[in-house]
Amino acid sequence: MQLIPDTIDWASYAQATEARVKVKAASVFTDELLAEFTPRDPKHKPPEMFSTKLRGRIEFRPAELTAWAGYNGHRKSMFTGQVALDLMTSGHRTLLMSFEMAPARSLARMARQALGLPKPAGVSLQAFSRWTDGRLWMFDHVGRINTEVCLAVLRYFAEELKGQQVFVDSMMMVCGSEESMDEQKQFVTDLVRVAQETGLHIHLVTHCRKPQNGEGTPPTKYDLRGSAAISDQAHNVITVWSNKDKHLALQKDPSDAVALAKPDARVCVEKQRNGSWEGAVGLWWDSASMRFCDDRMSAVEPYRLAA
């Protein structure tokens, strides 16, 4: 794991790249066209999540923006931490920009997920830390950050560190006011542009409005808090919802068979612009490892932390 401090002079990265000619002959894209129809090398690991039912259903392609949305406290950051681990395991150079949690705390949660244990031993944590080198970078900043610096960090990671995947957690720490729709729209527009210009896949964690009738109904892409530009401009929109009613039922009766049979979480691909699948999957939560599993009986195996 490497830290990117917030004391770097970001001025040179805050400038947008020079405008390039956008109107081109179609034949310029011949290689890309052929690649669309060329069978994938079986040794190539796609940028996807393999540890849950989302495997094979959505890819986190270069030059795209994914919005991860959900109600407050519904484990969005926990789920995206597992997504990041899957991508890192596949060799993707990943940056975590968590403005609400210190790097050590974020790493502690990811270590539990990777090792599959509630309290990993020191030797295991050392091995995990070594494994993150060349795979994971942390932006060492907690608290509000302005949009210019945030965008500059993205460009720095892409240009200087050859990054591929970035998690921005969360939108409200960059655009704090729900009323500043123009600021949010401009920020999302800028994220899409940076993704296209650098090839980064940017994951933006955002929130949904608090429902008037409680949190028993999963949110949709139309429930995102703030500007509609978030769901309109993002290439992918994925909602994460925790089944709080199940949790309450099990507090009353831990052996409630009906409640136990229900999934703990629902993850729904609400939009996938460049993919064919949209839909929802039910997942179970393992509290010891903080991992999301396909079913109640799934064994939580540690990630293979190969060199």
What confidence tens digit (pLDDT) does each residue in 164-214 have?
Answer: 999 999 999 998 665 678 889 999 999 999 999 999 999 999 999 888 888
> What's residue 300's pLDDT?
92
Closest Cα to residue 147, out of 192, 184, 198, 93?
Answer: 184
Q: What is the DSSP letter of 217?
A: S
CA distances from 30 to 26, 34, 35, 61, 199 (A): 8, 6, 9, 19, 19
Structure-token pair, residue 291: 């991992």
Give residue 55's pLDDT. Answer: 95
Alpha helices in the chain (DSSP H): 11-14, 30-37, 76-89, 103-115, 122-132, 147-161, 181-198, 229-233, 244-252, 257-260
The pLDDT of residue 13: 77
Q: Distance of CA 193 to CAs 63, 155, 164, 235, Å?
A: 9, 11, 15, 12
Ramachandran quadrant class, 290 (left: phi over 0; alpha: psi -120 to 50; beta: rest): left
Architecture field, domain 2-11+45-293: 3-Layer(aba) Sandwich (3.40)
pLDDT of 21 reads 47
pLDDT tens per residue, range 241-260: 999 999 999 999 999 999 99
What residues of the chain score a pLDDT lower than 50?
18-21
Q: At what angle do helices 181-198 and 147-161 cross, to 10 degrees?
A: 10
Q: Provide CB contacts within 8 A for 154, sequence distance 6+.
A: 166, 191, 194, 198, 200, 202
pLDDT for the residue numbered 27: 82
Q: Which residues contact 259 (CB under 8 A, 6 or more apart)?
A: 246, 249, 250, 253
Rg (CA), the chain: 20
- pLDDT, position 10: 75
Q: Edge-to-edge strands of the sheet including 201-207?
A: 2-5, 136-140, 94-98, 165-169, 201-207, 64-70, 236-242, 265-272, 279-286, 291-293
- Cis amide prior to 170 (ω within 30 degrees): yes
Domain segments of the chain as ranges: 2-11+45-293
In one letter, which amino acid is 174? V
